[in-house]
Amino acid sequence: MATVDRGNKQFQGMFKEMWKVSDTVDFGDAATGSGTFASADVTVPGVALGDVVLGVSVGVDTVDAVVAGAVTAADTVTLTLLNNTAGAVDLASTTVRFMVARFS
């Protein structure tokens, strides 16, 4: 289960609500070849389409792959590992941290 802190004390005036999220994910294998990806969904109660993921921190070396997040449905953030390397990327299960914000 994800750990979620909900509040609105930072960036006052710009965002009306924010979520600080920490969860453990296993992206699986992003196969060999530029442009392949793996993804993981994280349940974040209260987020909605139109909310923005401000950043993603991953607890392991991403081996030059790129990790990004987006709100893809109500209560759901999808984290995507984009493999732009020449080889396969299969990260170990790791803790990810990110923030979600709702514009004022």
Query: For the chain, which residues make up each domain, given as ranges?
Result: 3-103
Task: Identify the pLDDT of residue 90.
Answer: 74
Query: Do 101 and 67 form a contact (C-beta atoms < 8 A)?
Result: no
Dist. CA 6–CA 69, nearest whole Å: 18
Query: Do 37 and 89 form a contact (C-beta atoms < 8 A)?
Result: no
Task: Identify the pLDDT of residue 29.
Answer: 75
Task: Identify the pLDDT of residue 11.
Answer: 66
Task: Identify the pLDDT of residue 93.
Answer: 86
**pTM to 2 decimal places:** 0.82
**Residue-wise DSSP of the chain:** --EEEEE--SSBTTEEEEEEEEEEE---EE-SSTTEEEEEEEE-TT--BTBEEEEEEESS--TT-EEEEEEEETTEEEEEEEE-SSS-EEPPSEEEEEEEEEE-
Chain-centroid distance of CA 38 in Å reads 12
Dist. CA 96–CA 26, nearest whole Å: 10
Task: Identify the pLDDT of residue 10.
Answer: 60
* Residues in the chain where the model's pLDDT stays below 50: none
